[in-house]
Structure 1
Amino acid sequence: MPSASPVTATETLPLFPLHAVLLPGAPLGLRVFEPRYLDLVAECGRLGRGFGVCMILEGEEIGAPATPAAFGVEAMVEDFGTSREGLLTLQVRGARRFRVARTRVRDNGLLLGEVRWCEESAAALRPQHAAVATLLAELLDKIGGEHPDLGHASANRRLLEQAGWVGWRLAELLPLSDDQRLALLQEDDPHLRLDRLLHWMDED
């Protein structure tokens, strides 16, 4: 008798639905003022963990709990401060992708997701995608920022050989719609993500 397939355990993750898509490795600035999200930040700081960011499919960022997309990305807090209006500001960075199995709402209105983490492939870039890696290196050289001289430094050059990393950085920098970025989040294969990006660039 064949053995049953193993069931991947879920983990409870507080969710911060937004009209935006956070990508793995990408930075995002947030302003926090609703009590439920202030509670979220305090809890995550106390436990040393992140929270989930999902694109809103229905609803708004404030008020009643919104309907989130089934895929999202874990947000890790890198810095925080206070705005001129006295609001808490956060600088977060995308980490692991996840899929939401189900949601529930706390008494304070905070949305909790039972999530399963998505496996990330360490696949190498394929020859047919070499042009997009070259484009990415040129974009990063122009804007500087976190990855200056990426195309010239041998240690950093290895990042341009990773299909997943190249895809996420292009998705971050190119003028894509939130729906397009969400479609990439839903795709496990980094080569297929690059195929989609090439297709969208050809359409332009």
Structure 2
Amino acid sequence: MSLPLFPLNAVLFPGCVLDLQIFEARYLDMIGRCMKQGEGFGVVCITEGSEVGNVPEGFSQIGCEALVTDFQQQDNGLLGIRVVGGRRFRVVEAQTQRDNLLLAEVAWLEEPDEKPLQEEDEDLVALLAALAEHPMVAALNMGLTASGQQSLANQLAYLLPFAEEDKIELLEIDDAEERLDAIQDLLDEMQGDMQA
């Protein structure tokens, strides 16, 4: 499967919402093509280099499909789009096109079935509810309710202020329970750092 890539300083998770401003010609063309064909593009996190200009030197080999749900002309004249995370994928091979757009051969990752929330998830469910009240989070209109462990893990991994490297690692974990455990470990580390 061939997928155009959009390297960003962000990690997108399935079911999560991301607002983007598009101003580079290569991405305006890409978005136009995606919308005409009703297809998505791939968001990968930049590990070396910058978002603007040339292709970044390094980017994560795991990413998330982005599906355009809304678009509008911004006050500053730029195109604003809202995407929702679709399927996770692994980059098999990537090539830079003439217009500097990255095109990748990707392998889709298996999404495990949604498992019901457990008693031990209650603290994390409460944390998600608290995050939902934050104005920046509320503006995303993600409809923050965890339908199960997978959606809880995706939303927390996306919204919590973890380092990009940690988020990439979380995106790689297939099992929702394992991902929730990893999120709890990162939260414990953050708390430890605050108390230190």
- TM-score, normalising length: structure 2: 0.85
State whether residues 3 and 103 of structure 2, in contact with CA within 8 Å, keep that contact through their aligned partners in structure 1.
yes
Determine the C-alpha separation between the residues in 1 that align with 2:90 and 2:125: 28
Match of 1:41 among 8, 20, 31: 31
Q: Which residue of 2 aligns with 1:96?
A: 87
Determine the C-alpha separation between the residues in 1 that align with 2:24 and 2:153: 34
Determine the C-alpha separation between the residues in 1 that align with 2:67 and 2:117: 27
State whether residues 11 and 158 of structure 2, in contact with CA within 8 Å, keep that contact through their aligned partners in structure 1.
no
Structure 2: gaps spanning 5 or more residues = 192-196
Give the secondary-structure state (helix, strand or coil) at the position aligned to 1:101. Answer: strand
Q: Which residue of 2 aligns with 1:133?
A: 125
Work out which of the two has the higher radius of gyration on C-alpha atoms and give 1 or 2.
1
Q: Which residue of 2 aligns with 1:154?
A: none
Which one-letter code corresponds to 2:93 in the other structure? R
CA gap 1:59/1:138 in 2 versus in 1, 3 angstroms: closer
Aligned-CA RMSD value: 1.9
Give the secondary-structure state (helix, strand or coil) at the position aligned to 1:29. Answer: strand
Q: Report the CA distance between 1:32 and its aligned residue.
A: 0.9
State whether residues 17 and 142 of structure 2, in contact with CA within 8 Å, keep that contact through their aligned partners in structure 1.
no
Which one-letter code corresponds to 2:8 in the other structure? L
- TM-score, normalising length: structure 1: 0.82
Match of 1:121 among 79, 104, 112: 112
Structure 1: gaps spanning 5 or more residues = 1-10, 151-158
Determine the C-alpha separation between the residues in 2 that align with 1:16 and 1:147: 25
| Aligned pairs (5 A) from 1:189-204 | 189-203=175-189, 204=191
Q: Report the CA distance between 1:183 and its aligned residue.
A: 1.1
Q: Which residue of 2 aligns with 1:57?
A: 47
Determine the C-alpha separation between the residues in 2 that align with 1:180 and 1:201: 11
2:169 is equivalent to residue 169 of structure 1: no
Q: Report the CA distance between 1:146 and its aligned residue.
A: 4.1
State whether residues 18 and 61 of structure 1, in contact with CA within 8 Å, keep that contact through their aligned partners in structure 2.
yes
Determine the C-alpha separation between the residues in 2 that align with 1:40 and 1:146: 25
Q: Which residue of 2 aligns with 1:71?
A: 62
Deviation digits for residues 149-181 of structure 1 (CA, Å, limit 9, x no counterpart): x5xxxxxxxx44x11111111123322222221
Match of 1:26 among 9, 12, 16: 16
What's the % identity of the aligned pairs?
Answer: 40
Give the secondary-structure state (helix, strand or coil) at the position aligned to 2:43. Answer: strand
State whether residues 141 and 147 of structure 1, in contact with CA within 8 Å, keep that contact through their aligned partners in structure 2.
no
Q: Which residue of 2 aligns with 1:13?
A: 3
Aligned residues: 184
